[in-house]
A and B are shown apart, each in its own frame.
Chain A
C-alpha cells in the first residue's frame, strides 16, 4: 500500500508542470536634472511606479539640462542612448533632436486635451509631440520670511511706489546688506527676475513676442522697462551683487537680505516653509511657469516599456510629484489641485485666483547659445548698469530670429 501511494506521489511530482521562472525584470534608465532634496522627491515617484509595475526596475541618473545638451547629441548620432527616458526643461533641445530623427513620436500616447493650454508648444515639431509634459514650477515673484516682515512691520506692496517704499524701509534695517539678494548660477536666476519685470510692465504678451523675435530687446517699449524700473533699483543697490544661488538662499534665510526672487522649488529647500511668503510685482498679469519634458530616444532597447513609464509620469506621476515638497504643480488637468503640497498650493491659489497667465520661460524657449548669452549679458548689466545699450543691442543682434541660427 505504502509503495503504491509513494509511486502515485512520485508520478504526480514528475508529471506536474514545472513552475515557470519569474519573468526577468525590465530595466529602464531614467535621466533627470534633480539632485539632493529634489532627487529625493522624484525618487518617491519612481518608487510608486515600481510598486505599480513590479517587473520594472528603474535606475535614476542625474544630468543637468546643460549636460544633456552637451553629451546626448553625440550618443544619438551614433545610434546609441545613455537612457530610455530623459527629462529636461529645454523644449528647444527636444525639438532639435526630433528634427534629426532621434526621438520617439509621443503623439499617439498623450491626450493633449488633458493638459494646460500651450504646454505642448515648445515640444511640437511637424505637428507631432516629441516630449510629454511633467510637473511645472512657477517663478512667481519675491519670497520673504513672514517672521521677518512681522518683526519689522513690513507689508506686501500693492503699487510700484509701495514696492519702492518697502525696499527703502528694508534698506534702513540694521544688518541688511541689500533689500534683494541676487541669485547666480551661470546667470539664470537673474534672467528669471528680468522676465518678471518685463511681464509686469510690458504685459503678458511681451514674453511670447520676445521669444519669437517679434519684439526686440532694443525696442523702445522694452528698453523703457529696463531704464525706468530695473536700472534705478540696480543703481540704488536694492539688488545685491550676484551670489551663487544656494549660498544666496542661505544668506537670505539668515536675514542678511529680505527678498529673494526664485521659483517654487524654494519651498522644498527651506527649514520652515510655513514661514515663507511671496508677492508678485504690483500689477503683474502673468508669471513664468517652466515645465520639465520627458522624451524617449528611439535607440532605447525598451521603447514600449519606456513609453508606459512616460505615460505614467505625464499623468498619475505628476500628481504624486506635486504632492511632495518638490515645489511643483501638475500640468495634467485631471490631477486635482488638492494634491498639491501645502506651501505650493498657497502660491498656486494666489496666482490662479488673481487670474494671472502662466507664461513660458523666455530663455528656455529660445534656447541654444542665445540662452547662455542672455544669462551672461544680464549678469554684466547687474554689475555695470551703464552697459544697458550694449546689452540690449547684443541680445537683439544675437537672437536666433534675427541672426538666423
Chain B
C-alpha cells in the first residue's frame, strides 16, 4: 500500500513542480507584491487603487450617472449582467432551432458562429471597432436603414459607437456576444444531443408548443450544461482585456475600462507608481472576484463526479 502511495507521488512530482513554479509561486508573489509600495509593506496600494479618480484608472466612479463611465469594476459587472444571460438565451434558441428544425446547412451555420472563437482577441477587437464604425461598419448602417436612431431618439446609433461614452461599452458587450456565441452554442448543442429524443416526442404528443418544449423540457435537462456555460462566460468576461485594448483603449472618457486593462496600465507605468505593487493590487482584486464563480464551478464539477 505504502509503495503504491510512493509510486503515485513520483508521478505527481513533475506536475506539481511545474504548477509550483509557474502558477503557485507567481500567485503568492503577486499577493505579497500587492502590499509593496516603495519597499514598504502596507495596505496603501489597495486604498489608492480603490479611491483613484483618474477616469482611465478608477475602479468605481464617485458620481455614477445614467451612462458610463462608472469605473472598471462596475463595467465588468455590467458586462457580465448583459453578456452571460443574452449569450445563453441566444445559444439555447439557436441550438434548439438547428437541432429540432432540420435546418439545411446547420453544420455550416455552427462553423460560422464558431468563427468568433478562433479569431485572435486583438484582431476581434479591431473587427468590433470596424463593425460599429460609421463609415465602414454594418451596425450603424443597419440602424440608419431601419431609422432606429430616429425611432429610439438616439442619433449616435447611426454614428461611430465607440466615439460615444454612452455606447462604447455596449458596443464592446455586443461584440463579445458575437465572439463567445460559437463556444456557447457548441457546448449547449452537445448537451442537447444527450437528451433522449423520446422526451421531446412525448411533449409533442401532448401538444406542447416549441416554446414550451424548449423551456419546460430542454432547459431543465440542460441545467448542468447551462451552469457550466454561465460560469465560463463570467470568467471570460472578468478577464477581458484584448478586445478593449484594441478597440477603445478604455475610452472615451474612461467609459469602457475593465479591470484587466487597468492592471495593465499600472504595469506599464510601474516606474511612476513606485514599482509593480499597484498592478499586483488590481490583479489580486481581479483574482478574488474571479474566484467566486471559479469555486462554484469546481464545487459543481466535484459534486457531479
Chain A residues proximal to chain B, CB less than 8 Å: 66, 69-70, 73, 96-97, 99-100, 184, 186-187, 241-244, 247, 251, 368-369, 372-373, 375-377, 379-380, 382-384, 387, 394, 397-398, 400, 405
Kindly specify which of B24-32, B33-41, B53-61 makes contact with the partner chain: B53-61
Main secondary structure of the interface of B (DSSP, over half): loop
Enumerate chain A residues within 8 angstroms of B56, measured Cβ to Cβ: 369, 372-373, 376
Q: Is the CB of B135 within 8 A of A379?
A: no
B189 within 8 A of A: no
Q: Is the CB of B249 within 8 A of A186?
A: yes
Tell me the bound Cα distance from A383 to B166 in angstroms.
11
Main secondary structure of the interface of A (DSSP, over half): helix
Tell me the bound Cα distance from A380 to B249 in angstroms.
13
Enumerate chain A residues within 8 angstroms of B254, measured Cβ to Cβ: 376
Interface residues of B in 10-65 (CB under 8 A from A): 53-57
Partner of B273, one of A97, A372, A397, A405: A405
Q: Is the CB of B272 within 8 A of A241?
A: no
Partner of A97, one of B135, B253, B271: B271
Number of B residues near A (Cβ < 8 Å) is: 29
Enumerate chain A residues within 8 angstroms of B251, measured Cβ to Cβ: 186-187, 375-376, 379-380
Enumerate chain B residues within 8 angstroms of A99, measured Cβ to Cβ: 271
Q: Is the CB of A373 within 8 A of B55?
A: yes
Enumerate chain A residues within 8 angstroms of B281, measured Cβ to Cβ: none
Q: Is the CB of A369 within 8 A of B253?
A: no
Query: Which 8 A/B pairs are nearest by Cβ-Cβ distance?
Result: A380-B253, A376-B251, A70-B268, A96-B271, A380-B252, A379-B252, A186-B249, A368-B272
Partner of A397, one of B53, B165, B250: B53
Enumerate chain B residues within 8 angstroms of A382, measured Cβ to Cβ: 163
With A100-B271, A369-B57, A376-B55: A241-B253 Cβ-Cβ less than 8 Å: no
Q: Is the CB of B54 within 8 A of A398?
A: yes
Closest residue on chain A to residue B257 by CB atoms: A376
Q: Is the CB of B54 within 8 A of A241?
A: no
Tell me the bound Cα distance from A405 to B266 in angstroms.
12
Enumerate chain B residues within 8 angstroms of A369, measured Cβ to Cβ: 54, 56-57, 265, 269, 272
Binary per-residue interface labels of chain B (203-214) against chain A in the complex, 1 for a CB within 8 Å, 0 otherwise: 000000000000
Tell me the bound Cα distance from A97 to B55 in angstroms.
26
Q: Is the CB of B165 within 8 A of A96?
A: no
Known contacts A96-B272, A369-B56, A369-B272; 8 further A-B pairs (Cβ under 8 A): A73-B268, A73-B270, A97-B271, A187-B249, A243-B160, A247-B136, A377-B253, A405-B272
Q: Is the CB of B163 within 8 A of A241?
A: yes
Q: List 28 A-B contacts (CB under 8 A).
A: A69-B269, A70-B267, A73-B271, A99-B271, A186-B249, A187-B251, A187-B252, A241-B163, A242-B163, A243-B135, A244-B133, A372-B265, A373-B56, A375-B251, A376-B250, A376-B251, A377-B253, A379-B251, A379-B252, A380-B252, A380-B253, A383-B163, A383-B164, A384-B164, A384-B253, A394-B54, A400-B272, A405-B272
Q: Is the CB of A241 within 8 A of B134?
A: yes
Binary per-residue interface labels of chain B (134-161) against chain A in the complex, 1 for a CB within 8 Å, 0 otherwise: 1110000000000000000000000110
